[in-house]
Structure 1
Amino acid sequence: METDIRFTHRDLVEQCKSGDPSSQYQLYSLYVDAMYNIGMRMLGNKEDAEDIVQDSFIDAFKNLSRFEYKSSFGAWLKRIVINKSINYLKAKQLPVVPMESHEYHLTEEVVEKTEAMDIRKVKKGIAKLPTGYKQIINLYLIEGYDHLEIGEILDISTSTSKSQYHRAKKKLVEIIQTL
């Protein structure tokens, strides 16, 4: 019998819904590291990531009665962290998706070389991307969202998400070549 991933930690979530602090701590302990990593990828700053994660858990526990197992608890919490990170960046008035002012032209040969690049260089390259490009790369490649979902998260069209991903990927290749 297969286990439906949506019900992972269901007993713990249900105990949290009833206000059990011990269960809340256990659930927090299970997910805090993963959510912190998401915050770091989105914000690039330890203190900001820690703040966003704490705020996300507070919101999650306050709104746990709305959680209906349409996704796993982890996916639901991840969406809260990502949305809070994006809202934080918007509040800081950083461009979420800097667009049309950047054009990059690379040959297919250069793109093929990226497949064999060292993962450390890729991570360093992602860190050096402009904020908007970094968000698209993180949401698509690392977090696994499709362009329709990214469009909803960032309040942009699906085609804008696709074109920005393409540009971000080209910019990433350019950055990595200089490392």
Structure 2
Amino acid sequence: MLLPLKVKYSQSYTGCYSHEAQAEDKGVNPPMVENDGVLYFPAEYEAFVQLVRQQVVLQLLWRMVIYDQERLKAETEQTIKAARIFHAYLQAVEPKIIENVKQVKRDLRQLGGQILQEKQEKHVRVVEARFRGFIYTQHFHNVFLKTLCEQELLAYLGDVDGSLLMKQMFV
């Protein structure tokens, strides 16, 4: 029997509008303990939530970069004058994103967590992840995820050395 627990958070806190936890075994204590009306999660729970969100964002960013690269290849210089430059920048950041996705997955495993599945619904992405024998469901708003992806992409683009990129493009 699963023990459903539901805790509401504000969107600005985690980017989620709800978290649900279910025990995989009925003999397991709930992940939070009520003490004087206050609910507590395990000490590493915040790190777990951060890593789940980061993995979701990086995987979405990776898909976005691949999609945009394909679109830029298809475009001619008639429609986008700087298509080659934009394409080169996206090619330069893709390996960095891939490496960071792998690192976040490793960090999540070391913490004892794992993303089980992601589903895209109309306005939210629903993510199920396991942490310490409990399955947590998190709902991320699409607008929130899009903003995080854009911020991450800007950070990656800021790390690209433009002069080195130009030398690679014109050699």
Which TM-score band applies after superposition, normalised by the shorter structure? under 0.3
Larger RCO of the pair (alpha carbons < 8 Å, separation 6+): 2
Give the helix-richer structure, 1 or 2: 1
- Name the larger-Rg structure: 2
Scaled by the length of structure 2, what TM-score is found?
0.26
Give the strand-richer structure, 1 or 2: 2
